[in-house]
A = this chain, B = another copy of it.
Amino acid sequence: MSRQPQPTPRPGGRSARVRQAILTATSEQLIAGGYDALTVNEVAAAAGVAITTVYRRWPTKAELAAAALGELAATANPMPDTGRIETDLRALLAQILGLLRRPEIARLVRAVAAIDPDTPGADAARVAFWQTRFAGSASIVTRAIARGEIDAAAEPEAVIELLVGPAYLRLLLTGRPLDAELEAESLRRTLAAYAPDTETT
């Protein structure tokens, strides 16, 4: 009776708005209560869409969470660039610890850590989420190597891993405090570990 013109996918149309609303609502719930407190029902309600709509796009709750976490990766923090590796790393570490000390961020990190690697798309989201952050961080090291402040043989990401590894270990597993002493020690030892010519003859 009536003609149905094949609607081309609308990039800026309703779909995009719906998608964004859902992901935003998901992120908020993840931040508010972690993965367990995330419910598809409430996400749909908060986003003002039907539950079916959510499931049409992300088949499982895990994939929805992964997608939302992936989105959060975009919210990158500014990377310090002071011209000296020590102050750069100190600022970076202070920024990260400042985040990890906030309960809602701690919940988020826990949620990411809990993701089953077998979940489709989940691992991709995890990698994206964290490599984005680490990629930015690594540039700090790259510049320091160019300046001769860091052992030229160092892999930039490994430096960052050594710097923040203990902090995440405490947060996720041992429960030891994320205090100023950890901050100072991590910075000092990382610099020592990667000092140029330190362990060469």
Give chain A's interface residues, CB within 8 Å of chain B: 1-2, 14, 17-18, 21, 34-36, 47-49, 106, 109-114, 116-117, 123, 126-127, 130-131, 134, 155, 157-158, 161-162, 164-170, 172-176, 185-186, 188-190, 192-195, 198-199
Contacts and interface: CB of A to CB of B under 8 A. Distances in A.
A34 B186 CA distance: 31
Contact of A169 (B35, B117, B123, B164): B164
A14 to B, nearest CB: 8
A165 B185 CA distance: 14
A2 B17 CA distance: 12
27 contacts: A1-B21, A1-B49, A2-B48, A112-B172, A113-B114, A113-B173, A117-B175, A123-B175, A126-B173, A127-B175, A131-B174, A134-B174, A158-B185, A161-B165, A162-B166, A162-B189, A164-B165, A165-B169, A169-B169, A172-B172, A189-B193, A189-B194, A192-B192, A192-B194, A192-B195, A192-B199, A195-B198
A157 to B, nearest CB: 8
A199 B18 CA distance: 56
A18 B1 contact: yes
